Chains A and B, each alone.
Chain A
Amino acid sequence: DAMVIQNPRYQVTQFGKPVTLSCSQTLNHNVMYWYQQKSSQAPKLLFHYYDKDFNNEADTPDNFQSRRPNTSFCFLDIRSPGLGDAAMYLCATSRERGTKETQYFGPGTRLLVL
């Protein structure tokens, strides 16, 4: 019954070593989001896809990239992780982008950078 799936749940990487986090959904939603949530902080939106249209937040570092090869999957690539990138990464989906649209979140991937 899982609707938004994130793999892996825990990821350990080395400083500067590229890492990819994955998200898949069974809801057939048009929009997929990636959030970064550091300890005891609010989730911060990094970017979102509306269908194949990529929307980057203005303050998202270039180190973060994303791919959405099809409706179901979305990937977060961190090209050169720094210690400051250790966080929980949350994927979410919504049917559309309007103000009424509820986001459905995955369980998150906790990233540790050594």
Chain B
Amino acid sequence: AQKITQTQPGMFVQEKEAVTLDCTYDTSDPSYGLFWYKQPSSGEMIFLIYQGSYDQQNATEGRYSLNFQKARKSANLVISASQLGDSAMYFCAMREVTSGTYKYIFGTGTRLKVLA
């Protein structure tokens, strides 16, 4: 079963506008971590933001914020004031530990294009 779902294969946003990238996840463990990574065309995965399952507040890092809705199992990334350099692939990922087994799962990604 798909554990991380990113339903938007591609998104466009106008420069300086905000954009939301969707991510839903599936787990039965109470303890897990959710991450967003950016992958430019060069290939390197760049960490953006983290949300823990027990965190009460939504995570924020500069222009990035995470809209965490635990009951709906969604962890959407919001990028405010989009810049041309934000054009990249964005991956949502989850880490969980189940019966001593460590799981690291990535979604299929959303390709974001920022328009001038």
Within 8 A of B (CB), among A70-114: 88, 90, 92, 97-108, 110
Q: What B residues does A41 contact at CB under 8 A?
A: 108
- Of the candidates B31, B102, B109, the one having the most CB atoms from chain A within 10 angstroms of its own CB is B102
The minimal Cβ–Cβ distance linking A88 to chain B, given in whole angstroms, is 6
Report the separation of the CA atoms of residues A97 and B106 in the bound assembly, to the nearest whole angstrom: 16
- Of the candidates A41, A43, A92, A104, the one having the most CB atoms from chain B within 10 angstroms of its own CB is A43
Within 8 A of A (CB), among B39-82: 42-47, 50, 52-53
- Does B97 interact with chain A (Cβ within 8 Å)? yes
Q: How large is the interface on B (under 10, 10 to 19, 20 to 34, 35 or more residues)?
A: 20 to 34
Contacting B96 at CB < 8 Å: which of A42, A43, A99?
A99
- Does A45 interact with chain B (Cβ within 8 Å)? yes
Report the separation of the CA atoms of residues A33 and B32 in the bound assembly, to the nearest whole angstrom: 19
Tell me if A104 and B53 are in contact (CB < 8 A). Answer: no
**What 1/0 mask marks residues of chain B from 76 to 116 whose CB sits below 8 Å from any chain A CB?**
00000000000000010001110000101011110000000
- Does A68 interact with chain B (Cβ within 8 Å)? no
**A-B residue pairs, 6 tightest by C-beta:** A105-B45, A99-B33, A42-B106, A108-B43, A107-B44, A99-B95
| A-B residue pairs in contact (CB < 8 Å), sample of 16 | A41-B108, A42-B91, A43-B45, A43-B91, A44-B106, A45-B104, A55-B102, A88-B43, A98-B33, A99-B31, A99-B32, A99-B96, A102-B35, A105-B37, A108-B43, A110-B43
What is the count of residue pairs linking A and B with beta-carbon distances less than 8 angstroms? 59
Within 8 A of B (CB), among A11-62: 33, 40-45, 48, 55
Tell me if B50 and A100 are in contact (CB < 8 A). Answer: yes
Can you add 19 more A-B contacts, CB < 8 Å, to A90-B45, A99-B32, A103-B45?
A: A40-B109, A42-B4, A42-B107, A42-B109, A45-B104, A48-B104, A55-B102, A90-B43, A97-B97, A99-B53, A99-B96, A100-B50, A102-B50, A103-B35, A103-B47, A104-B47, A105-B46, A108-B43, A110-B43
Find the A residue at minimum CB distance from B53.
A99
Report the separation of the CA atoms of residues A102 and B51 in the bound assembly, to the nearest whole angstrom: 11
The minimal Cβ–Cβ distance linking B34 to chain A, given in whole angstroms, is 9
